[in-house]
Amino acid sequence: MHVDQKAEVRITPPRWLIPWITSAQVWIYETSNGRLGATGAGMPHLLLRTIGRKSGRELNVCLPYWLDEDGSRIVVASFAGGPKNPAWYHNVKDKRANPDVRVRDRDRVFRASVDVLEGEEHAHVWRALIADRPFYQRYQERTERRIPLVRLVEARS
């Protein structure tokens, strides 16, 4: 069964504003128990909690997600096509600091393992993703780095 996941971002905020927007989204999402903030720009959003690989602090970020063909959530470390990967990506890549992560999807909270997609798997998922969300291709064109794709595989509630 295919779910329509098409979305288009018409206005991308400046990168310096993204952390401020994310902080506000996290607050709204948490305060409303996922009733508000769980969608934006026509996309479902989740809260991803990681442990800072350097600070050891709990960090939360609100991210849009896309479902792959297996129904797993894919988050995109685009940072609007910025020159560097977002901080949350570095945290999830560090398996010592984050052997798994906590995810909140609306009112559901669960642990998830993190799978950073590589090689042909990245290419395959990327093609399907940009067919639904072409703005990610525009973000890719803005940067020399390859934008990472991260699969969050639900482990337990």
Beta-sheet strands, E only, within 41-137:
43-51, 58-64, 66-67, 73-76, 101-105, 108-116
Tell whether the model's pLDDT for residue 35 goes beyond 80: yes
Q: What is the mean pLDDT of residues 113-138?
A: 96
**pLDDT higher than threshold 80 for residue 2:** no
Which residue segments constitute the domains of the chain, with CATH numbers given? 15-156 (2.30.110.10)
What Rg do the C-alpha atoms of the chain give, in angstroms?
15
pLDDT at residue 40, rounded to an integer: 86
Distance of CA 101 to the CA centre of its chain: 12
Dihedral, 75, 36, 43, 126 alpha carbons, nearest 10: 0
CB 91 within 8 A of CB 51: yes
CA distances from 85 to 32, 108, 145, 147, 148 (A): 29, 27, 8, 8, 8
Global pTM reads 0.91
> What is the tens place of the pLDDT at every residue in 84-110?
999 999 999 999 999 999 999 999 999
Per-residue pLDDT at 17 exceeds 60: yes
Instruction: Quote the pLDDT of residue 157.
Output: 54
Q: Give the pLDDT band of residue 1 (cuts 50, 70, 90).
A: very low
pLDDT exceeds 60 at position 66: yes
pLDDT band at 9 (very low <50, low <70, confident <90, very high): confident
Q: Which of 10-24, 29-43, 105-119 is predicted least confidently?
A: 10-24
Pairing type for strands 43-51 and 39-40 reads: antiparallel
